[in-house]
């Protein structure tokens, strides 16, 4: 469950090393994300995912990120990393979301790419199937990755969302803009990946610490 306090829940995505995991835990991140998508510089093997999942157990929640993955791929990752949440970042339909939710008995988050009010309106179709809608910036046409590109969308577009499902915010968040994002949108979850890196896939402990602090104290500024 997401926090009901003023401060949003925090997810550090693209964790691939014990050092990055420990930095996220030390900064009191509520969730860490493991990427199971071969094209991503943050992709983790099942062996590494198992190690990270064991290290995270009881200390933070583990989210597995998938892009149009097969059932077998999801099942292997759920078991290996002891996932707490499944996050879908591809073109999965509401039916696919509901199927995975029922099959694995885990919360399912669905990322939606946003560039217009119409994109936000599309969330209504999936709100009944997903436990959380994650609004992310739309990747450029032809991009290999659906997210983690450091792109920001117009947060004012979220005023058009009328769905019943809880929602979170991703897309170009960083220590520099997360407080403003929280204040402007009222999001209950912030999700960051490239914004806390010093190179693609290489997490920076200081940026993780700053991001979590700025997100958590946004309402106090």
Positions marked catalytic: 13, 136
pLDDT per residue as tens digits for the range 72-116: 999 999 999 999 999 999 999 999 999 999 999 999 999 999 988
19 CB contacts (<8 Å, ≥6 apart)?
203, 205
205/123 Cα distance (integer angstroms): 33
Strand partners, 197: 203
Both tokens of 169, joined, read 């915010």
Closest to 83 measured CA to CA, from 102, 107, 103: 107
Closest to 119 measured CA to CA, from 158, 65, 149: 158
pTM, two decimals, is 0.91
Domain boundaries, the chain: 9-220
Which CATH topology does 9-220 take?
A: TIM Barrel (3.20.20)
């Amino acid at each position: 469950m997401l926090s009901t306090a003023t401060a949003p829940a925090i997810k550090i995505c693209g964790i691939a090393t014990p050092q990055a995991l420990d930095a996220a835990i030390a900064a009191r991140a509520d969730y860490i994300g493991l990427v199971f998508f071969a094209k991503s510089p943050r992709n983790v093997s099942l062996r590494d995912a198992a190690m990270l999942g064991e290290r995270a157990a009881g200390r933070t929640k583990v989210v597995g990120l998938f892009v149009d993955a097969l059932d077998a791929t999801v099942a292997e990752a759920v078991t290996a990393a002891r996932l707490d949440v499944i996050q879908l970042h591809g073109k999965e339909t509401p039916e696919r979301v509901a199927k995975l939710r029922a099959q694995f008995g885990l919360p399912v988050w669905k990322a939606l790419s946003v560039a217009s009010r119409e994109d936000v309106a599309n969330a209504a179709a999936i709100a009944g199937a997903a436990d959380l809608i994650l609004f992310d910036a739309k990747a450029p046409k032809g991009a290999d990755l659906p997210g983690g590109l450091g792109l920001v969308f117009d947060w004012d577009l979220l005023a058009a969302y009328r769905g019943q499902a809880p929602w979170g915010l991703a897309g170009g968040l960083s220590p520099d803009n997360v407080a403003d994002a929280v204040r402007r949108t009222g999001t209950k979850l912030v999700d960051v990946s490239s914004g806390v890196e010093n190179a693609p896939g290489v997490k920076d402990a200081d940026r993780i610490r700053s991001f979590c602090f700025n997100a958590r104290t946004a309402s106090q500024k």
